[in-house]
Structures are given as structure tokens and as C-alpha cells.
Amino acid sequence: MLTGIMCCTFILSGCNKKDTNSSDVSQTEDNNESTIGNNIIVAKGDGIKISAETFGYYVYQAAMSVAMADDPNITDFTTVDWEKKMSDGRVMSDVIKENAINEMLKRAAIVKYGKENDITFTDEEREQIKSGMDQYKTEQGNGLFENTLKAIGVETVDAYLRLYESETIYSKVKSDFEKNRKKYIKDEKKMREYKDDNKVSVQHILIKNNSTKYEDPKKTIQEVLERAKNGEDFTQLMKEFNEDTGEPDSGYSFGPGEMVAEFEDASFNLGYDEISDVVESSYGYHIIKRVTGFAEFENYLIDKWNIEADEDFVNKVSVSDIMKDIADANNTLVSAQKETENQSGGENNTQDGGKTNG
């Protein structure tokens, strides 16, 4: 449901349908509690200052990902104990905050890169999002609109606009990277110094187990594997055989819990330029190659511009409080929707009764 609310928010782009409000940490007198407030810089680097305004949004995203990786069968996130110890011994809230701040740093680095290379958020895009927001508020009411934002961890309209601009530029740079990887990765050996233990970049070739193109998928994938192991260009083999039509030439960069287990485990166990044996999943048969990708490029930029987080801020923030606020906003939205449906039903009944009595 929470994921649905997030998707609902991005209706504001005009799509009708899946990267900061200045915030601070206000402490109580005994310094044991904190809430997200206004105007605190939570990370900075060369020419970069990151306010905490959308930290709640990144906490929300990280919380969903971490909870699902910890328990793939979870359906009700309001039951999660965000302070529990996970199977690896780490406290879940600590992992969530670490992942959230890391995503903010990466976004900031990529946005800075984009702006320096004329990859920007255009005036037309800005007017489009504002128009969509105005339409949403007209149709649903300003109160419902604000609660929709709060249900994904965003406290103000201005914060949402800045978040949307950041995500747009980030997506543009990533899309360009996927098409022109060699423009970004000029020195493979140097870039591999920025390995991300929480993300992996791979190219892969998929032959579906119900393939209509290949009569014998298992035999075909073995033939492709032999050619790949003999040194044929992997990207060309992808273009010739791959049945994953959504995969860019650069492949995928992803973290734990984002792919099916067999694919994910094999990917994280590969060394750079290493090619896996055939990996079977519910989708079919895969051959996977570890490459230097977007994850390494993000970390390179963070190091280049010396972007560092304020650990005091991160430590004081309560994941449980943020997720409770998000759940409360979501409950408000659900109640408002039910009320609207009830009013609509009542009006229909009155109309029907009028016709019958007439």
C-alpha cells in the first residue's frame, strides 16, 4: 500500500502511475530524541550542500528495500520492528539510515555531474510538474495532496519539487550512461577502486525457459556460454541472443533484494570481467558478466568531490518515528478515500431512489 502511495504521488508528473524541504534535527533537552525539522545541512562536499529536507523519503525507500530483503514474504510494513537485529547481526534501522544517506550522496554527485555537463531539469519539465500538481490539488484538495507527499516521507511542496528535479536529472544521467558507458568509464582499473560492496554491476544474457525464438533454450545457452568463455565480445553476444529486451548494453547496477535470488547470488560472487556458468532462475537461463558500472561511477564522483555526511545527524534520526509518520499519513489517505467512496455511493443511491419513486 505504501508503495502504491508513492506511485500515486508521481501521478503529479502527468503519468497517472518506480532519486531536499530543508530539514534539521531538533533535540529535546536531554538530547535523547530527535525529529526532522528545517534548514540543516546533512552532507557537503566541493560545491555541494545537501539539506535534510527529503531524508524521510530516502529512509522510506531504504526501509522498504531492507525489510523486503530481510523478509521477502512481508506484506504489512506497519508490523516491522525497525530496531530489530537482522540475521547478519546488524540493527535494521542502522542499515536503513546508512543506505538512505548513501543514496542522497549519490544523487547529489550525479546531479552535480549532470548540471556541469548540461543535463538539466528544463523549464518545460518544471512547468509540467507544477501544472500536474495544481490539477491534483484542484481535483483532490490541498489537504489530501499534502498527505500524499507525507506518505512518502516528503513534508512540503517545495521539497517535492526539488526532489522531482533531482530525480529527473539523475534519471537522465543514468540513461545516458546506459547508452554511452565508455564515455563515463574511461579507466576500468582506476574505476574499480570505487567498488560498492552493496551494489553490483553486470551484463547478462537471458534465454527464456519458454522461449519462442529458440527451440532448445538449454542447448542454446550452453552454446552461448562456450562462445563467451572463448573470448567473444559479450555485448555483441547480448545483441545476438539476449531475450531480456529491457536490458541496456551497459547492463544493470543493483543491490540486495532487487533481483531474483539465483541471479543476485551469482552476480555478487563474480569478480570483475568474470563470466558465470549458466544460472537458472524462474525466468530461464542466464549468463552473467561482472562489469564496471554506474555504482562505481557514483562512488568515484563522491570521492572526487569529497562528499561526506554529518554522522551526528544520521545517528540522531529515528527510523521508527519516520515510518510511523508515513503510516499515519497513509491511514489518513485511506480514510479520505473511503469517505469519498461512501459519499459517492450515497449520492448514487439518492439518484436511483428518485428515479424509482418517480
Q: Do 169 and 249 belong to one domain? A: no
**What does the pLDDT average to over 332-348?**
73
Range of the domain at 216: 188-292
Q: Do 268 and 128 belong to one domain? A: no
Q: Do 261 and 316 belong to one domain? A: no
Give the C-alpha separation, 230 to 223, whole Å: 11
Q: Do 256 and 130 belong to one domain? A: no
The percentage of the chain sitting over the pLDDT mark of 90, rounded to a whole number, equals 65
Q: Do 274 and 321 belong to one domain? A: no
Q: Is residue 297 part of a domain?
A: no
Instruction: Look at residues 248, 266, 292 and tell me which one is the last residue of a structural domain.
Output: 292
**β-strands 252-254, 200-208 pairing:** antiparallel
| All three cell numbers of 318 | 529515528
Q: Do 130 and 255 belong to one domain? A: no
Q: Is residue 332 part of a domain?
A: yes
Q: Do 94 and 243 belong to one domain? A: no
Q: Do 266 and 339 belong to one domain? A: no
Which among 312, 308, 212, 297 is positioned nearest to 253, based on CA atoms? 297
- C-alpha dihedral over 146, 152, 153, 157, to 10 degrees? -40
Domain count, the chain: 2
Q: Do 194 and 150 belong to one domain? A: no
- Which has more pLDDT, 299 or 138? 299
In this predicted structure, what is the pLDDT of residue 38?
A: 55
**What does the pLDDT average to over 133-140?**
86
**β-strands 252-254, 308-309 pairing:** unpaired
In this predicted structure, what is the pLDDT of residue 316?
A: 93
Instruction: Look at residues 249, 269, 292 and tell me which one is the last residue of a structural domain.
Output: 292
Instruction: Look at residues 292, 317, 333 and tell me which one is the last residue of a structural domain.
Output: 292
| Neighbouring C-beta atoms of residue 137, cutoff 10 Å | 17
Residue 39 is inside which H or E element, if any?
Answer: strand 34-45
Q: State the pLDDT confidence band at 29, using cuts at 50, 70 and 90.
A: very low
Q: Do 177 and 194 belong to one domain? A: no
| All three cell numbers of 332 | 489518513
Q: Do 58 and 141 belong to one domain? A: yes
Q: Do 21 and 43 belong to one domain? A: yes
The enclosing domain of 193 has a CATH number of 3.10.50.40
